[in-house]
Structure 1
Amino acid sequence: MSFLNRLFRLAPSDELTVVTARLNAKVQPLDRGEIFEDPLADWLKSENLGDVLGGGTQLIEEPFGIEFCDVEIGLSDASDDIVARVVAKLEELRAPKGSTLLFDDEARPEVAFGRMEGLSLALNGTDLPEEVYANSDVNELIRMLDEALGDAGEQLGHWEGSRETMLYFYGPSYAEMERIIRPITDARPDTQLSRIEKIA
């Protein structure tokens, strides 16, 4: 396993308490910043609560790809009320179920949070006919699936392995996302031999 893509790390001041949001979200570093870090930092600063100090993405061996991502937060006040507000903001930003807020103070219990459920679509990259790959466009597939999902979910992350490309979708209900996505993947030539799994 390797912990990669820690893009930046601000030094916390003595006045800040560091907490880590371990997000059960399979997103790339740039997506992590756009979806979670940047809007969270803007909100923290606007409320005079602190700032985002850094972030990282945990990669694991194939075929699993991304395991989770971390967002490190410096809080000027880490009382239970403020922590509850931070958790509520992360859930507003679509934090998936299975996420956890961790404290440097090991005596303080972690806080479980997250509302979104997750679906992984694994695209087979080796066993389909060559003409299928020649005529396939994964970006067009993503647009089609996002349009079909509507408010039921959206693609937030991806990972490319040597044999599979993983697309990660998040929404209020895994069952509803699967109900919408499966007929499309069953019908398309480029999604044959694909796998759909629940990830949150």
Structure 2
Amino acid sequence: MFKNLFGKKTPQKEFITITLNAKLQPMHRADLDDALSIVLDKQNIGDICGGGSLLEDNGEIQECNIEIEAIDSSEQAIEHILSFLKNTLSPKGSRLRIGDKVIPFGEHEGLGLYLNGTDLPDEVYQNCDINEAWAEIEKLLGDEGSIHSYYQGNTETALYIYGNQFEVMYQLIKPYLDSYPLCQQCRVVKIAG
């Protein structure tokens, strides 16, 4: 009678590390963590147990990690995780590590828009609003991409845009970049892809 009760094995836990080639502030990574937690719970895969960011020398985020303590690390469980990321944020150059196995993944390309924060005329900074630029860029991108995070540095403010194709996203926002005073002297950099 008690043999079956005490003879049950607890599921073997395994750690999965997702490294996103994405420049996400901790609060934006936390939003992704929360959404992924719902998938992990629903599919009985495990729980998020940590995460972090790798910083560049200037303090800008280079990439970020999400760590999962998994009770199910089957191929099907990994597919659920990768499918979720594909539908939310899956920059090219990302990888999933489970034990010694590394699975590269990524569908999205990234565009870093670096706005000059020091060299424009004072009236530009006084009369222009980064929030207006953010909203207009989101509108122009439509379904092609979205701003996922930002960085406020000493000389620049960066908006991190991820979407289907870098060149398409750039062409959609270029007329605005050329016309809005706050975007003068900006830099556009491919950050994933």
Instruction: Identify which of 50, 59, 72 aligns with 1:54.
Output: 50
Aligned counterparts of 1:83 and 1:152: Cα–Cα separation in 2: 26
C-alpha displacement of 1:154:
0.8
SS in 2 for 1:168: strand
Aligned counterparts of 1:30 and 1:14: Cα–Cα separation in 2: 32
Aligned residues: 183
Aligned counterparts of 1:114 and 1:150: Cα–Cα separation in 2: 21
> Higher Cα Rg: structure 1 or 2?
2
C-alpha displacement of 1:176:
0.7
Instruction: Identify which of 153, 165, 170 aligns with 2:162.
Output: 170
Query: Are residues 1:30 and 2:27 paired?
Result: yes
1:34-183 equivalences under 5 Å are 34=31, 36-62=32-58, 65-103=60-98, 105=99, 108-183=100-175
Aligned counterparts of 2:101 and 2:13: Cα–Cα separation in 1: 19
Which string of whole-angstrom CA distances, capped at 9 and with x for unpartnered residues, describes residues 65-89 of structure 1? 1100100011112223322322222
Matched residue type, 1:163 = T
C-alpha displacement of 1:139:
0.8
Which string of whole-angstrom CA distances, capped at 9 and with x for unpartnered residues, describes residues 31-54 of structure 1? 1111x2111111111111111111
* CA RMSD in angstroms, aligned pairs only: 1.5
SS in 1 for 2:119: coil
Normalised by the length of structure 1, the TM-score is 0.87
5+ long unaligned stretches in structure 2: 1-9
Aligned counterparts of 1:33 and 1:14: Cα–Cα separation in 2: 27
